[in-house]
Amino acid sequence: MESKKESNTDNNKKSLMTIENRRKLLLTGVSEVVSFNDEQIILNTNVGSLVIKGRELKMNKLDVQNGDIIIIGIINSCVYNSNEDKHNKDSILSRLFK
The pLDDT of residue 22 is: 96
What percent of the chain stands above pLDDT 70?
71
Mean pLDDT of 55-67: 92
Burial of 34 (0-12, 13-18, 19+ CB in 10 A): exposed
- Report which DSSP code applies to 75: E
The pLDDT of residue 9 is: 45
Half-sphere exposure of 66 (CA within 13 A, CB side): 10
The pLDDT of residue 1 is: 44
Rounded Cα distance between 83 and 90, Å, is 11
The pLDDT of residue 2 is: 44
Question: For the chain, what is the mean pLDDT?
Answer: 82
Give the helix/strand (H/E) hosting 97. none
pLDDT at 70 over 80: yes
The answer to whether the pTM exceeds 0.85 is no
Phi, psi (degrees; rounded to nearest 5) at 75: -95, 120
Q: Which domains does the chain have, with CATH numbers?
A: 2-96 (2.60.40.2000)
Per-residue pLDDT tens digits for 8-47: 444 457 889 999 999 999 999 999 999 999 999 999 999 9
